[in-house]
A and B are shown apart, each in its own frame.
Chain A
């Protein structure tokens, strides 16, 4: 049966805001085509139907923050031929990884009147800390066109066209005049992974690094430039400690400016 020959897709959620998996439902023009090309075997945000594994492709959203999830991710891996992590939570621990810089007990008691009811790990960690990841999609949230590209590449057994340069290159492509040079607006574009299409600078705003660090970023030289623009050390720390705070280059640069 042709029906059975379709690749089976599963979407998994760990600690997250659901924004990255919503990107799939936000592909209004492509959704029905995607649903025609794959069997959506497990996608609880969209369907009651649950198909048993194994799955040809798993999209994993969210970070690992509970003992239960630290076990569940191993089961997801065992059931998945190809595993793609989607978004900053899954690839770097997300904004909830800010706890990694504090004592989680203080965090729990700051939010919950009965801390003893809460079961959580002291750190929020990316999926790759726990299992082998076949591919990562960056962003907080991911770019839905990158997601469609990855799905169609995997369906057609080709390599997805996802580049790893910086947001700066995307500004040049888009024809946005550098806002840091021309207007002195602090921007993380030089050290940030491409993928969004350089949205913020086109809105007169400095990039805040939501796609995480690009390959081999020179965060030190960027920090010096930010200092030159009058950005204080605590503000540099805050800039590094955003949605990808635990990505190694951002974590290190943040610590270098902490006293």
Chain B
């Protein structure tokens, strides 16, 4: 009987550090482990004793790829604890800021991190040698996303303008309207992205996922909604911990979430799309249909098309938000600290990001809990790997290794967040 191990010691094109270890015994997959060796940074511990107002800036540093997501979930949780509602143009500005991060993050993942796998290149710079126009489109898309974040947030990474209650300074409409032309270009370029992604080769693979995402009465979920799932779960954000809990696996510095009585679940673009197709604007629905998608898509490799559809959605929404914007009189609603517990959950580009804080009378954090998207997908990634390898056990190791890496990259895993990730080993014995 042949025995072997397939291993990837340092998984590339994911944010953070991790590896994959797969042991194959004869024709059976004996063991699959996603090893996260990203060093733990103990955010939930270091937040204790900090002021409520510091949470958006501190938690942003969990992830340089999606700092806005951390800022949005943390302010929502704090505002929930302190009984504040942020609505009107301030809410619209937050949504616009989040659209900027989605555009930047999705353009980065679709073209620079995910596409090389499908096209057989090691990286996007190699793609640029053969297909310069594709990479230029990617970079220009990414750039307009970053421009929104920088305009509203002060800078692209770890923006400085978000505070509990609103912002430090709000822009005049004239600061935003110059972006409109390029955002309209970006919406067209996103439709083009969906068309291009649909031409890529996709392995046949459709696991029976439980999808979990936010759902809002009339918006595609970004910054607000109830937590729903494809098995019928429908709960308010504060009930999250009654239904989901975290396990700590020995081989990992990351905690993995499990849905009670259900096991692994899937968050991110695919989950949002399957649960919220009806909330996509006509232009995004049309792009999806033209690409051959229905309102159900279970192939995780096709998440590259779905990210494209979401790019159409956020570019379209950004255009609308800017057109409808009127500058509010105040940059923030007043905040009076008091004791309380608050819950927040928003859709980071990679899936739902849950925060809970407890504050004392002075507004000092006494307890913090953060559940990032990658720790929620981790168990699902392992299960995908097990199923995927089982059906392709006879592939040569080199090919199988690359495809396994791709299975992981389908999730756009952000390992820096999950520690609060990758090596690939395939072992055959």
Contacts and interface: CB of A to CB of B under 8 A. Distances in A.
Interface of A: 13-23, 25-26, 28-29, 31-32, 35, 40, 43-50, 65-66, 68-69, 94-96, 98-99, 102, 104, 106-108, 110-114, 117-118, 120, 124, 140-141, 144, 196, 199-200, 202-205, 208, 210, 235, 238, 242-243
Contact of B42 (A107, A113, A199): A107
A16 B416 contact: yes
B160 A117 contact: no
Contacts of A102: 45
B182 to A, nearest CB: 12
Interface stretch (B11-19, B90-98, B353-361): B11-19
A99 B39 contact: no
A43 B252 CA distance: 23
B188 interface: no
Contact of A44 (B13, B42, B155, B163): B13
16 contacts: A16-B416, A17-B64, A26-B146, A40-B123, A46-B13, A47-B13, A50-B12, A65-B39, A65-B40, A95-B41, A95-B46, A111-B40, A124-B41, A141-B155, A203-B169, A205-B161
A235 B122 contact: no
B65 interface: yes
Interface of B: 10-17, 37-46, 48, 50-51, 54, 57-58, 61-65, 67, 108, 112-113, 116, 122-126, 128, 132, 135, 139-140, 142-143, 146, 154-158, 160-161, 163, 167-169, 246, 248-250, 252-253, 255, 331, 405, 414, 416, 420
Contacts of A45: 12-15
A19 B64 contact: yes
A108 B420 CA distance: 11
B67 A19 contact: yes
A21 B15 CA distance: 10
A235 B51 contact: yes
B135 A32 contact: yes
B48 A110 contact: yes
4 residue pairs, one from A and one from B, having the closest CB atoms: A19-B64, A47-B123, A49-B122, A110-B45
Given A19-B61, A45-B13, A238-B54, A69 B39 contact: yes
Contact of B122 (A28, A47, A124): A47
B46 A18 contact: no
Contacts of A243: 61
Given A17-B62, A47-B123, A204-B168, A107 B45 contact: yes
A203 B154 contact: yes
Contacts of B61: 17, 19, 94-95, 140, 243
A133 B72 CA distance: 36
Contact of B12 (A48, A69, A202): A48
Nearest to B58: A95
B10 A44 contact: yes
B360 to A, nearest CB: 12
A53 B157 CA distance: 30
B11 to A, nearest CB: 8
B151 to A, nearest CB: 11
Nearest to B156: A26
A25 B141 CA distance: 13
A48 to B, nearest CB: 4
Contact of A141 (B12, B64, B154): B64
B154 A96 contact: no
Contacts of B17: 13
A114 B248 contact: yes
Given A35-B125, A118-B40, 10 more contacts: A19-B64, A32-B132, A40-B123, A45-B13, A111-B420, A112-B248, A124-B41, A200-B154, A235-B51, A238-B51
B142 A48 contact: no
Nearest to A14: B39
A141 B139 contact: no
Given A18-B63, A107-B42, A210 B158 contact: yes
B44 A111 contact: yes
A199 B155 contact: yes
Contacts of B420: 111
